[in-house]
Structure 1
Amino acid sequence: MTGFPNGATLPSGMTVDVFAAAFEASPTPMVVTDPRRDDNPVVWVNGAFLALTGYAREEIYGRNCRMLQGPRTDPTVSRAMREALAAERPFEGEVFNYRKDGTPFWNGMTITPVRDQTGAVLFFFSAQADMTDKHRLEVAMRDANDALERLVGERTADLRSALEEKTALLHEVDHRVKNNLQVISSLMLLKARRTPVGEARDALQGMADRIGALSTAHRMLYSEGDVSRFDFREFTADLIADLAAGLDGDRTRIETEVEALALSAAMAAPLALLIHELATNALRHAFPEERHGRVAIEAHRCEDGMRLVIEDDGVGVEAATPNPSGFGRTLVEMVVRQLRGRLEWSDAGPGTRIAITIPLAEAAL
């Protein structure tokens, strides 16, 4: 092979010609340059390199490999390669080069210094590869990924817009239901005031209060940012604030210890009825004849869901004045069944204790 570098140590029995023939037959493009000559020119290439670049040997020998560079060659990569060769260090990278006909291609290369026995660099040997298809695939994948991200972004924006519209609609529904319930409650209270004292008046008053509790539930849902969940601690505090507004604080009080639980919005109305009914019943019947006392409301997460306890230190169920026309206990039992819960009535000694276990399969902390 004309111009093949001599002076390298070869395996026993292998001549330079045999070694050169093996390199010439390799499908991997190969280049040898001589840094001892001016401008580190090319002194040997194999046929695969000629096929890659489109040049003939006589057009390459004696010239620096920068002849393959062009307007789109990254100067940062070129500078890194020059610095590595100047420091007699190996270099590995990809350079945007040009063939003889001007066709650009990505040239992946490793350049290795070849030293003599004293450590002096005799030649630089470079094995190369056409990486154009790899880059083309990377560009195609990047474009496809960008298109997918745009599609996902557009779809996400559509879903966000639809969710915002749904949220606004549900808020509006809660707002209107709240207003309508307040109107109904006010009408019933007005009718109660015009009804003679007795069972009918008490019934109207009780129904108005229950409707007011439902109105409070919808008011809380209207104020929540997440229409699918509500904060049970804040919800209970709001309900109890309405109940405690008319109490004589020196005689009776309501205490709460409620864990912060995010519950399904579907549970708001039945829980409002449940807490209102049990707390109101305790306040009305547990403390007759100006008796002092307290009503405690506790709610915590438990293994089976949520444990709601309403307890008073009043006269107890047996001593309370019976109310044949009342249906508070029936209402409580109906609501507990609706919530798929368990209801336990017991003597608190003194007072009454109602414990309710409610599954929270659809709720989250």
Structure 2
Amino acid sequence: MATLVDAFARSPSPMVITDARAPDNPIAWANDAFLQVTGYTADEIVGRNCRMLQGPATDRFTVERIRSAVQAAEPISVELLNYRKDGTTFWNAMTITPVNDAEGLAFFYAAQADMTYVHQMEVSMRGTNDELERLVNARTQDLTTALEQKTALLHEVDHRVKNNLQVISSLMLLKARRTPEGEARDALQGMAERIGALSTAHRMLYSEGDCTHFNLGDFAAEFLADMNAGLDPERRRVEADVESIAVAAAMAAPLALMIHELTANALRHAFPGEREGRVSIVARRTERGMHMTIRDDGVGVAAAAPNPAGFGRNLVEMVVRQMRGTIAWADAGPGTTVDIDIPLQQPA
């Protein structure tokens, strides 16, 4: 037991224990990592309730969820905006677990992680995406107004963008191969694959005769070939049944990113170890646009290993919102099903 306590005390992950039998469930113990993140000393927090870390911007709904779980002695995992001693904020991802002894509920154990950098990355990505979209739209308008050969110009732009994206993807893959295995290498590999999907979309736009639209069925076929090229067909495979749907060129990049992210995440997380499986992509035209279903026969969302550093699901939902669509996630028993509805008449 002493060895276990010493390991918790030395852990780089913030940990805290509260006394469930004392009034107001006060903090009974916290490791050095918790003290470092919050800026408090042990004397300043022991005996006080963890709500001392809350502030004006802390989400009240999440606080109420925590309170209800504690009252019911049930485990809970949440992310909450907390405040350090100096008043600065940080995003605290915590898993609170009730612990019983022979007499019943004794204390609560909370393992935590500072997720501030993840939220900052998401905010930065949204701002960067909006700024890039604004710059691209402004530049495209300038070029189409200045030149009479609009179609030839757009094809040339797509060709150059495709080439540039391929160069960037190759550089990131090279850097990934020279980076030690771990979170940084996985992040570089993932970003290179996303850029590759965008390159495929621009390659389709360059080859289409109509520079204002592209064929979703043809894109799915090319994407399928690229994705399956790196898989063992005896163990895992991606299949597609996509109608020939004319889609506005402006939707090429977000659609490519969305399809790639969902498919890659399924291959990465739905089939752990040597598990075999299949991912299917189905798209049909509807009265107001199109309906797309991405399904896998893997372990399912609930059974997949947690990935605190990942943001694939948030990225997909952000892209779907950008296209004015809706998305629903469900356990398929076995596997996971993602249903997406997207209007094809996009606002100007």
What TM-score does the superposition give when structure 1 sets the normalisation length?
0.54
Aligned to 1:149: none
Aligned to 2:303: 319
Structure 1: 5+ residue stretches without partners: 1-161
Aligned: 1:236 with 2:220: yes
Q: Which has the larger radius of gyration?
A: 1
Aligned to 2:181: 197
Aligned to 1:66: none
The 1-side partners of 2:254 and 2:195 are apart by 12
Q: How does 1:340-355 map to 2 (within 5 A)?
A: 340-355=324-339
Letter in 2 for 1:328: G
Q: CA RMSD in A?
A: 1.5
The 1-side partners of 2:230 and 2:334 are apart by 24
Aligned to 1:303: 287
Residue 163 of structure 1: how far off its partner (Å): 9.2
Pairing partner for 2:273 from 271, 289, 295: 289
Aligned to 2:262: 278
Pairing partner for 1:222 from 206, 212, 219: 206
Letter in 1 for 2:192: A
Shift of the 291–180 alpha-carbon distance from structure 1 to 2, 3 Å rule, reads same
Query: Cα deviations across residues 229-275 of structure 1 (Å, max 9, x unaligned)?
Result: 11110011111211111000000111111111011000100000000
Aligned to 2:317: 333
The 2-side partners of 1:165 and 1:241 are apart by 33
The 1-side partners of 2:324 and 2:263 are apart by 21
The 1-side partners of 2:148 and 2:225 are apart by 31
Residue 304 of structure 1: how far off its partner (Å): 3.0
Secondary structure class of the residue paired with 1:249: coil
Aligned: 1:245 with 2:247: no
Q: How does 1:70-219 map to 2 (within 5 A)?
A: 165-219=149-203
The 1-side partners of 2:150 and 2:287 are apart by 34
User: Are 2:323 and 2:346, in contact at CA under 8 Å, matched by a contact in 1?
Assistant: no
Secondary structure class of the residue paired with 1:222: helix
Letter in 2 for 1:303: E
The 1-side partners of 2:215 and 2:290 are apart by 13
Residue 215 of structure 1: how far off its partner (Å): 0.5
Query: Cα deviations across residues 167-225 of structure 1 (Å, max 9, x unaligned)?
Result: 11000000000000011111111111111100000000000000010011000100000
Aligned to 1:139: none
Query: Cα deviations across residues 327-349 of structure 1 (Å, max 9, x unaligned)?
Result: 10111011001100001000111
The 1-side partners of 2:312 and 2:225 are apart by 21
Query: Cα deviations across residues 36-55 of structure 1 (Å, max 9, x unaligned)?
Result: xxxxxxxxxxxxxxxxxxxx
The 2-side partners of 1:286 and 1:339 are apart by 26
Shift of the 289–227 alpha-carbon distance from structure 1 to 2, 3 Å rule, reads same
Secondary structure class of the residue paired with 1:318: coil
The 2-side partners of 1:282 and 1:164 are apart by 45
Letter in 2 for 1:294: R
Residue 303 of structure 1: how far off its partner (Å): 2.6
What TM-score does the superposition give when structure 2 sets the normalisation length?
0.57
The 2-side partners of 1:194 and 1:243 are apart by 23
Letter in 2 for 1:337: R
Aligned to 1:154: none
The 1-side partners of 2:301 and 2:148 are apart by 49
| Residues 287-296 or 271-280, more deviating | 287-296
4+ residue runs of structure 1 moved beyond 6 angstroms? Answer: none
Calculate percent identity across the aligned residue pairs. 72
The 1-side partners of 2:147 and 2:228 are apart by 37
The 1-side partners of 2:161 and 2:192 are apart by 15
Secondary structure class of the residue paired with 2:149: helix
The 1-side partners of 2:311 and 2:229 are apart by 24
The 2-side partners of 1:250 and 1:239 are apart by 19
Letter in 1 for 2:322: Q
Structure 2: 5+ residue stretches without partners: 1-145
Secondary structure class of the residue paired with 1:256: strand
Shift of the 323–362 alpha-carbon distance from structure 1 to 2, 3 Å rule, reads closer
Query: Cα deviations across residues 128-155 of structure 1 (Å, max 9, x unaligned)?
Result: xxxxxxxxxxxxxxxxxxxxxxxxxxxx
The 2-side partners of 1:225 and 1:342 are apart by 30
The 1-side partners of 2:273 and 2:172 are apart by 28
The 1-side partners of 2:147 and 2:185 are apart by 45
Q: How does 1:8-27 map to 2 (within 5 A)?
A: none
Pairing partner for 1:357 from 321, 341, 344: 341
